[in-house]
Amino acid sequence: MSRWRNAWIAASIGIAASSAFVAIPAKASTFSLVVDYTCTGGIAGSAEVKLKARVQIPTAVQVGSMLKLGWSVEHVGAPRFKSPDYYAEGARVSLVGNVKLDGAWNGTLEAHGSEDQAALKPNQPLVAPEGLSSEAHMTEEGVIKLTPQGMTVDFVPPAGEITVNNDDPRVKYDAGWHSSGLTPPEYGDHLRDVHTTSTRTDEAVIRFRGTGFEYIGREMPGVGRARVIVDDDASAIVDPTKDPNGNPTNATKGNISLWERKDLPYGEHVVRVRAIDEGKDVHLDAFKLHTREMIDPPTEHKSTCAVTNNPGTVEITVGGGTSSPDPSETPPNSPDPTPTNTNTGDPDPTATTTPPNRHVPWPSGSHVGVVVPGSSKTPTPTATASAGPTATNYKAAQVDTTPLGGVDTGEAPDQGTGSYALIAGGSLLLMGSAAGGLLVRRRRAGHAGGTDR
C-alpha cells in the first residue's frame, strides 16, 4: 500500500510541475503579405522577370509613431534584369514598391531600395536590391487599409567617362583600316597603338549609350581630313594638321581630342569617322564616351512590375496611445453614452460611463485585421474594455504572421481560458501532493513510535 501511495504522490508532483511550463500564446507583432510580381520592358529585356516580395506590416501602431513597412524581394525562376550596355562601376538598380492607403489616410506609400553595380557588359545580369523600406508618421486615429500595388525597377547609368581603345571589339572597321602595332612612346598614343586608313570613304564605327563622346587621334603634318558623323549629323570635318587655334602643327602628338560632342540626349548613338582625302592617312587612337549625371532615371531602362496574385488587404486601426479614456468625454459622432448604472434615483458617485469603441484603446495600442482575398466582406475591428487581456483573431490568405516569443506558425491563437484551467488544476494537484507527503511523514513517525498497524 505504501508503494502505491508513494507512486501517486510522485505522479502528482510531476503533473503539478508540468503545469508551470504552460506558455501563454505569443502575440503576433507583424504580418508578412506575400506579393508576386511579373516585370516587363526596360532592363527586363524580352523576357518576363518574376519577383516575390514579402511586405512586413507592424500590428502595433499609435498616434505619434511611425508606420514602418519592410520589404524583402527575391527572384523567382531564371530570368534576371540585364545590363543594356557597357558601363563603368557605379551604375545603380533601384526598386520602388507601392502600397495603397485607404481610410483615415489616402494615397500611396512608396518603399525604396537600390543597389550599386560593378563594371558591366551588355546582357550581364544585374544585382537587384533585396530589401526596401518605407515609413509614414501617424498623426491621428483611424482605420487604414493597406493594399500592395505595382512596382517599378529603374537603371541609372554612372556619370563620368570611359575610354574605348581602337582595338576594342566595339569599334567596327571597313576593310582599308589596319593596326599600326606598337608606336613610338614619344608620340604619346593611348596604349601606344592606333588604327590607320588612307582609303577615301573608309569608316570606323562605334555604337554606345551615353550623352557625349570624343574622337581621339593624332595631330601631325601631312595627314588627311576626317568627317565625324553623329547619328544623322554629318556636318563635322576634322583637319588634324592644325592645332586647336587653327595653326599648322609641325610635330606628332598622339592621344589628342580632335572632336567632341557632350550635349547629346541620353540614349543609343552611332558615331562614324570617315576618311575624306584619298592617299592620306587618318588615325583613330580611341573614343571617350561620356554620360552626364541624370536627375531622373532614363525611361528606356524602366521595367514595370504588375501584381500577379491576390495578396489581400491589411487593416490597421491607429490607436490614441495607452492612456485611459476620459469617462466624461462626449464623442461628437455618436449617440449619448449609456451609463452602466441603471438606477434612476440619486446619482451614484461610483457610476461610470462607457465611451464609444473608438475611444477605448487596444491593449497593444492597435488592431490589425486581414481581408481575405476574394471575400466581399471586410472585417470590422471592435474594441471592448475588459479587465483581462484582449486577443485579436487573425485570418489571412498568403499572409505570414511572425509572433514575438513564439514559433513562426502563421497565426497567433486565441487566448482562451483553457491554459488558466490547466494551471489551476496543476495547483490543486500540487496541494494534494503536499498533503500526501504529510500523511507519509505521519505514518513513518507512527512506526518509529512502535505503533503496529
Average pLDDT over residues 15-30: 45
363: in domain: yes
pLDDT at 112 over 60: yes
Radius of gyration of the chain (CA): 39
Residue 284 near residue 217, CB atoms below 8 Å: yes
Q: Does residue 287 share a domain with residue 166?
A: yes
Q: Does residue 144 share a domain with residue 181?
A: no
d(CA 271, CA 256): 17
Q: Does residue 306 share a domain with residue 257?
A: no
Q: Does residue 262 share a domain with residue 318?
A: no
Q: How far lies 256's CA from each of 161, 163, 190, 219, 246, in Å?
A: 16, 13, 9, 7, 15
Q: Does residue 255 share a domain with residue 320?
A: no
Question: How much of the chain exceeds pLDDT 70, in percent?
Answer: 64
If you ran DSSP here, which 8-state letter would residue 90 be given? Answer: T
pLDDT reported for residue 321:
59
237: in domain: yes
pLDDT at 115 over 90: yes
218: in domain: yes
Q: Does residue 430 share a domain with residue 376?
A: no
Average pLDDT over residues 300-326: 81
- 126-165 confidence digits (pLDDT tens): 999 999 888 888 888 888 899 999 999 999 999 999 999 9
pLDDT at 297 over 90: yes
pLDDT reported for residue 425:
63
pLDDT reported for residue 447:
55
pLDDT at 346 over 70: no
Q: Which helix (H) or strand (E) holds 97?
A: strand 92-103
Select, from the ranges 97-106, 213-222, 346-355, the one with the highest average predicted confidence (pLDDT). Answer: 213-222
- 389-433 confidence digits (pLDDT tens): 333 333 344 445 444 444 444 444 444 445 555 666 666 666 666
Domain boundary among 291, 306, 330: 291
Count of structural domains, the chain: 3
pLDDT category at 317 given cuts 50, 70, 90 is confident
pLDDT reported for residue 32:
83
Domain encompassing residue 217: 161-291
Average pLDDT over residues 182-188: 96
pLDDT reported for residue 404:
45
Q: Does residue 284 share a domain with residue 208?
A: yes
Q: Does residue 245 share a domain with residue 302?
A: no
pTM over 0.95: no
Pick from 261, 195, 252: nearest CA to 228: 261
Average pLDDT over residues 315-340: 54
- 254-266 confidence digits (pLDDT tens): 999 999 999 999 9
Q: Does residue 272 share a domain with residue 308?
A: no
CATH number reported for the structural domain that contains residue 194 in this entry:
2.60.120.260
118: in domain: yes
Q: Does residue 430 share a domain with residue 405?
A: no
Give the DSSP letter string of 372-407.
PTT-S-PPPP-----SS--------SSEEEEESSS-
- 39-80 confidence digits (pLDDT tens): 999 999 999 999 999 998 887 788 888 888 999 999 999 999
Question: How much of the chain exceeds pLDDT 90, in percent?
Answer: 53
Domain boundary among 275, 291, 307: 291
Q: Does residue 313 share a domain with residue 257?
A: no
Average pLDDT over residues 279-308: 96
User: Could you tell me how many residues make up the chain?
Assistant: 453
pLDDT reported for residue 408:
44
346: in domain: no
- 354-378 confidence digits (pLDDT tens): 333 332 232 333 333 434 344 333 3
107: in domain: yes
Hey, is 17 helix, strand or coil?
A: helix
268: in domain: yes
Average pLDDT over residues 85-112: 93
Q: Does residue 113 share a domain with residue 83?
A: yes
**84 Cβ neighbours under 8 A, 6+ residues apart:** 43, 122, 155, 209, 300, 301
86: in domain: yes
Give 31 or 57, the one with higher predicted confidence. 57
pLDDT at 100 over 50: yes
Residue 236, C-alpha cell as written in the block: 563635322
Average pLDDT over residues 336-348: 46
